[in-house]
Amino acid sequence: MPEPAAVPTPPRPPVPLAALLAREDLALRQIAGPREPDRAVHGAHASEMADPYPYLLGGELLLTAGVHIPGAAADLGSHCDDYVARIVAAGGAALGFGLAPVHDTVPRALATACEARGLPLLEVPPRTTFSGVARAVWQLMAQARHDGLRRVTEAQQSLAAAASRPHPVPSVLRQLARRTGGRAVLYGPEGTEIAAAGREPDSGAGPALARLARVVRPAGPPQAGTATAPAAPAPSPAPASATDTTGGAALSAYALGSGRGFVLGIAAPRREAGDHTVASVAAVLLSLLTGEHRSGSEAARSSALVRLLLGAAPESVAPLLGKERWQVVHGRPEGRAPDAVAAAALGAALGSPLVDLGEDVVRVLVPGEREPLAQPGWTLGVGAAATPADWPAADVRAARALARARATRAPLVRYGARPALADLVPPDEAEAHARALLAPLDETLAATLRTWLSLHGGWDRTAVALGVHRNTVRQRIARCAALLGTDLDDPDVRMELWFALRQG
């Protein structure tokens, strides 16, 4: 029979077989096969089929009461060997044999076959049900998933804190080495080791990691051809990351997004769930840090900040940032509050290190000529490109665009900046009219009315945009109508109020 094609195991965290054997409530006992502490179980499956091969994905603990195994037969040994061989061929992790009601003991021929084929054989006592074993496997998987998420979250927080210290690059590498239990190295564009932290898990890990770093380092520009030799073909783009193993070390390399040839290398004793996510966070932070180091933009931004604090006008320090016009982008991650790592990642994705992390929103200054694109997992509001004198207004417009994006469940909304009839009215007269008309309203009511009008009087969408209950929206709008003494169902009234609110 031809060998089957390899089938990937299900995308869920495996659990060690040893952890299942350690459960006193199950009272499982291994009676044959190798005792490997790292043997992983990806699930539990009960089957009484004589050939379970077609029903296994690989990595399962197969549970059987031995219905298909004859109690006494001349070919019992051959039957058990064929049965175990098929389980091994399907990638089964272990076999659990339930005692009673079919067999009082585990057949000796089955134990012999498992020992010969290298398949762990567990004895399941009569009081332990197969569903109880399966439930225990899922409980251990849930705990492993929870532990993995907690490990990643703690690592993200510690890496973000390390990036804010006086010597951020060594601090990030030290924290990464501690989290992975190995050695973290930052390679420069020429392949030289710039900074490192931690201890190599294997004597040959260093040279092997340096070779792996060359795999992901971007190739230099192709050399031009000569009159006697054709031009060399353009090199294939390097992968963003690569993994390998050598001796007792798991190796990983990540090309940093700064685009200057920096590479992050990691040599760890083993590759655990969540390591890739932790390393990716470190790579994002190091991309920002190495980009600043190479361009000198960090010093320029520091100088701009000092001048602002000492009283300089924004337009006078803007040239230090290298651009005359900038866009304000407001971003909010889906389903959670933003943190420092998420803010840095958004800034890197939008191509700007000018990031401000607020309580529930991230603000990013993006060069005016760049087109901000929607980012997975984020809702974005984009203001029109503006000069420094108009940045405060651009910030307000980006906030309004974000509110509209959240209300309409759009990934990105741009604030419209085309000329309107309002441009025909002198700004000072428009502001005076707005102040007089809206004087009875406080900030909360004015903001509610603005959002409600922008969403064409939609109660539910306004509630979503403001993060309040729809009844609260109704009460506030009714209060606005009473204080203004007007009918908000009148389109002329709505138009005049919208004109006034836009001046705020």
CATH topology of domain 15-140: 3.40.1390
C-alpha closest to that of 381 among 411, 351, 357: 411
Dihedral angle sign, alpha carbons of residues 83, 87, 89, 90 = positive
421-502 topology per CATH:
Arc Repressor Mutant, subunit A (1.10.10)
Plot region of 307 (φ>0 → left; ψ -120 to 50 → alpha; else → beta): alpha
**Sign of torsion over alpha carbons 58, 63, 66, 68:** negative
| Token representation of residue 481 | 């109508």
What pLDDT does residue 224 have?
36
CA distance linking residue 399 with residue 450, whole number of Å: 12
Please tell me the predicted confidence (pLDDT) of residue 113.
96
Give the model's pLDDT for residue 360: 85
Chain centroid to CA 26: how far?
Answer: 36
- What pLDDT does residue 231 have? 46
CA–CA gap between residue 144 and residue 153 (Å, rounded): 14
**Cβ(173)–Cβ(256) under 8 Å?**
no
What pLDDT does residue 380 have?
93
Parallel, antiparallel, or unpaired for β 94-98 and 121-124? Answer: parallel
Strand, helix or coil at 423? helix
Q: How far is CA 385 from CA 127, 316, 331, 396, 502, in A?
A: 71, 18, 16, 13, 18
Which CATH code for domain 164-219+240-295? 3.30.450.30
Question: 88 phi and psi, to 5 degrees?
Answer: -65, -40
Q: What pairs with residue 252 in β-bridges?
A: 243, 266
CA distance 311 to 306: 9
What are the E-state strand segments in 273-359?
A: 326-333, 355-357
Beta bridge partners of 249: 246
Where in the chain are the domains?
Answer: 15-140, 164-219+240-295, 323-414, 421-502
CA 245 – CA 268 distance, rounded (Å): 10
C-alpha span between 357 and 129 (Å, rounded):
52
Question: According to the model, what pLDDT value does residue 230 have?
Answer: 45
Q: What is the DSSP string of 344-376?
A: HHHHHHHT---EEE-SS-EEEEEETTS-----T
pLDDT at position 62 is 97
- pLDDT tens readout for residues 266-299: 999 888 877 888 888 888 888 877 764 444 556 6
d(CA 439, CA 35): 79
pLDDT at 419: 47
Neighbouring residues of 323: CB distance < 8 A, sequence distance ≥ 6? 367, 368, 369
> What parts of the chain have a pLDDT lower than 50?
1-10, 221-234, 292-295, 417, 419
pTM: 0.46
Pure H helices in 335-468: 340-350, 391-408, 427-438, 443-454, 459-466
275-297 residues labelled b (16+ CB within 10 A) or e (exposed):
bbbbbbbbbbbbbbbbbbbeeeb
Could you give the C-alpha distances from 29 to 5, 62, 99, 187, 488, in angstroms and in order?
A: 32, 15, 12, 50, 75
User: What order of strands is seen across the sheet that includes strand 94-98?
Assistant: 29-32, 121-124, 94-98, 60-64, 43-46
> Which residues share a beta bridge with 490?
none
* 114, two tokens: 């498992």
The radius of gyration of the chain from alpha carbons, rounded to an integer in Å, stands at 32
Give the DSSP H or E segment for 381.
Answer: strand 378-382
